[in-house]
Amino acid sequence: RIPGLKGPRGWPIVGNYFDIVSNAALQYDSWGKQYGDVYQVQLGSTTVVIVNTPTAAKNIFLTNSHALSSRPVTYTFHKIASTTAGLTIGASPYDDSLKRKKKGIAAALNRPSIQTYIPYFDRETRAFIDDLMTYGKAGTVTIDPLPMIQRLSLSLVMTINWGVRIPSIDDKLFKEIVAVEEELNRTRSTVGNAQDHIPILRLNPFNPTSAKARIMRERRDEYLAELSSDLAKKMQEGTNKPCIQASVIKFKEVELTETELTAISLSVLGGGFETVSNTMQWSIAFLAQHQDIQDKAYEEICKFQGSDEPLCDASDDQKCGYILGLAKEALRYFSVIPLALPRETIKDIEYEGVRIPSGSTVYMNAWACNRDPELFPDPDRFEPERWFVRPDAPVFAFGLGYRMCAGHLLAMRELYLIFMRLLGSFRIETSEKIDCDPSKDMKLPTDLIMAPRAYRVAFKPRNERRLVESLANTA
Ligand code: HEM
């Protein structure tokens, strides 16, 4: 244990592990009230520093940005599930290769690059609205929007990566990637893989977590190889679309290896798919039961673009303040990665007289930071307007410092456009109560990225004639 740092005492071998499995973010938050803003827990053999408030998070992750620039190496993900194509950025410890990959992804996801993806945003969000109209039979039947929102976010990252679209929710590759990426994200959970912290469990040759992780890695390797070879063929023929993988030349100054380039694409795929779709899936369930927020959003959208145009201009860069506030509030309220991604210190850091040594594992409780009553008064209330009062409040959902989300600009732009077009096109309705309290209604509380349980809602067009016309214009 780290001398001078408080924290709950645990059991031999397992430490505090079994206290946190049912709801880690809430348990860490509750311990924070007892042991302070920064304290330590024992997860089996791993000592973990928990950072539980915005002030401490800014102090630790921003002031010591470089010292906190690494990620711990875990057993399930790094040793078993990690693809042979190289470590994603989010999973890479700090080294020269990480620095090169970070430069590469920064070039691929900066503002000027995002500008070149606008046609992709346009096409995928239109296809999403079209899907909701088609499968929801113009609001006459209820549907589970998850596959449609997953298709949108996946197709967008696939186009950016390899220039390949996911045309429909019935697509075979779509189903395969959804299944594999969901399972692989589970192998990265700091809560759901007991063997990461309790090494004795690794000796079990029938360990189901390891067996599943191995299969998922093989399945991922298979579609990655296929995507890469298809692209190589198209590049030879000169028929490829502009995308990250085809821009190897653009990154020449960074001198990325083939493996690093693949790792960048994999990072965009892994980082940008489940995060965006789960944020939307929670939001839709919530909005269906809060017509007042939908009406306010619609009123603001109409002020911005008139009531006759359901689909806003795709190049609108977050100018409708209410919808921007709504997107940030969705990120805050649902905090789909409640514990962000784990960090490891590469240097000693000092916090209030305590020395946290190099090599320590540190978690930011993004959930607790996002519910801090001083920064976000009445934090359990969903209130887009709060972002007018504090437009520059940190969006803890993206993490902080050197390893903060590399796709945050793209994610904001994407969420904004989805909300604009979704709420400009439909009134979302439900006649049944949907449980969507993010503190307890998650599908699996040990996941890395939290998803709500399945539900169904109706998407009633606000102006059916105009929507049909707008969608027809796309064709
Ligand atoms: C709702 C959307 C998203 C959320 C909530 C989210 C959240 C996060 C969080 C919490 C981290 C860890 C930050 C830290 O350690 O401080 C992260 C890292 C990362 N995210 Fe996102 N993300 C989102 C969308 C995206 C998108 C769209 C992309 C790519 C297109 C992306 C790519 C990445 C990458 C590559 C990293 C690793 C950064 C590093 O380790 O240096 N994310 N994200």
pLDDT digits 0-9 by tens, 130-162:
999 999 999 999 999 999 999 999 999 999 888
**Would you say 405 is a known binding-site residue?**
yes
pLDDT at 203: 84
Indicate the Cα dihedral angle 154, 159, 163, 164, nearest 10°.
Answer: 30
The C-alpha angle 50, 55, 56, rounded to 5 degrees, equals 30
161 within ligand 1 shell (Cβ under 6 A): no
Identify which of 396, 352, 384 has the alpha carbon closest to the alpha carbon of residue 36.
352
Q: Is the CB of residue 268 below 6 angstroms from any atom belonging to ligand 1?
A: yes
Ligand 1 close to Cβ of residue 404 (< 6 A)? yes
- The pLDDT of residue 250: 57
160 lines ligand 1 (CB under 6 A): no
Residue identifier of the C-alpha nearest atom 11 of ligand 1? 405
Minimum CA distance residue for ligand 1 atom 24: 272
Distance from the CA of 237 to the center of ligand 1, in angstroms?
34
Residue-level pLDDT at 38? 98
Residue at 473: amino acid letter: N
475 Cα–ligand 1 center, Å: 33
Confidence of residue 79 (pLDDT cuts 50, 70, 90): confident
pLDDT at residue 417 tops 80:
yes
Q: Which two tokens stand for residue 363?
A: 């978690």
Regarding the beta carbon of 267 and ligand 1, being less than 6 Å apart is answered: yes
Distance 407 CA to ligand 1 centre (A): 6
Q: Ligand 1 centre from 415 Cα, in Å?
A: 14
- Rounded Cα–Cα distance for residues 367 and 19 (Å): 17
For ligand 1, the distance from its centroid to the CA atom of residue 289, given in whole angstroms, is: 29
How far apart are the C-alpha atoms of 162 and 313, rounded to whole Å? 25
| Distance separating the N- and C-terminal Cα atoms of the chain | 62
Which of 49, 117, 398, 410 to probe ligand 1 with, by most ligand atoms within 8 A of CB? 398
Is there an atom of ligand 1 within 6 Å of 104 CB?
no
Atom of ligand 1 nearest to the CA of 400: 16
pLDDT at 359 over 60: yes
CA 104 to CA 248: how far, in whole Å?
10
Report the nearest atom of ligand 1 relative to the CA of 105: 35
At 84 the pLDDT is 55
Q: What's the DSSP call for residue 390?
A: -
Atom of ligand 1 nearest to the CA of 336: 5
DSSP 41: E
In short, whether 406's Cβ falls inside 6 Å of ligand 1 is yes
Express each pLDDT in 240-269 by its tens digit: 777 777 665 455 666 788 888 888 888 998
> What is the model's pLDDT at position 416?
98
pTM equals: 0.95
Please give the C-alpha separations between residue 388 and each of 231, 328, 329, 451, in angstroms, as whole numbers: 44, 11, 11, 28
Separation between Cα atoms, residue 439 and residue 333, nearest integer Å: 10
DSSP for 338-350 reads: TT---EE-SS-EE
Ligand 1 centroid to residue 50 C-alpha, Å: 20
pLDDT value of position 450: 96
pLDDT for position 384: 98
- The CB of 269 under 6 Å from ligand 1? The reply is no
Rounded to the nearest integer, the mean pLDDT of the chain is: 92
Complete DSSP assignment for 187-210: HT-SSS-HHHH-GGGGG-TT-HHH
Q: How many CA atoms lie less than 13 Å away from 116 in the CB half-sphere?
A: 15
Ligand 1 atom closest to Cα of residue 411: 27
169-223 pLDDT, tens digit per residue, is 999 999 999 999 888 888 888 888 888 888 888 888 777 777 888 888 889 889 9
Does ligand 1 come within 6 angstroms of the Cβ of 412?
A: no
Asked whether the beta carbons of 100 and 277 are under 8 A apart, the reply is no
pLDDT above 70 covers a percentage of the chain that reads 96
